[in-house]
Amino acid sequence: MSMTTPSAAPAGTNGASTWRAQAVRILLAGLGAFVALALVGMLAQTTSEPWILGSFGATCVLLFGFPSSPFSQPRNVVGGHVLTSLTGLVCLHLFGPGYVPMAGAAACALMLMMMTRTVHPPAGSNPIIIFAAQPGWSFLALPTMAGAVSLVLIGWLYWAIVKRGTWPNREG
């Protein structure tokens, strides 16, 4: 039984062309994340509103590095972020600050994402962010919903230009 390393070129392919294809994929992922976060950051600066959420950096890892993942699909990105922020806000306002309500909010958010099939791992940090920042209810609209929708729209436009409409997955 032969063992190959993940970086080894597949049998029958040119190692240099495989490396180039991987380098292009990595550069496109980085460019997509840069464009998306810069545009959302520009919205924040232009409007003086908080469009940025810490978990959006990890969202860009999925949207641009792994766009075909089920976790990267629009339903998961927007649904996961909105559901987990709502859960965090409800728990914060019902139970007050503290590590036990924060842990409960994160656990409930995970279960709700699984139940609704909107799992988006970066959104799992939203209840923790909410308990740390203790924002008001407007946090659900801005930055959560507006930012997540913006990232999805930017991702859709980016992949439409770069890969001719390969994202989102038709089943996603």
Q: Name the CA radius of gyration of the chain, rounded.
A: 18
pLDDT of residue 13: 57
Please report, in angstroms and rounded to a whole number, the separation of the first and last CA atoms in the chain.
Answer: 37
Q: Are 83 and 133 in contact (CB under 8 A)?
A: no
pLDDT of residue 171: 56
pLDDT of residue 95: 98
DSSP 43: H
Q: What tens-digit pLDDT sequence spans the chain (172 residues)?
A: 344 334 444 555 567 889 999 999 999 999 999 999 999 999 999 999 999 999 999 999 999 999 999 999 999 999 999 999 999 999 999 999 999 999 999 999 999 999 999 999 999 999 999 999 999 999 999 999 999 999 999 999 999 999 877 789 865 4
Burial of 56 from C-beta contacts in 10 A (0-12 / 13-18 / 19+): buried
Domain boundaries, the chain: 76-172
pLDDT of residue 2: 41
pLDDT of residue 16: 82
Q: Distance (Å, rounded) from C-alpha 132 to C-alpha 87?
A: 14
Global confidence as pTM = 0.88
How far is Cα of residue 156 from the mean position of the Cα atoms in its chain? 13
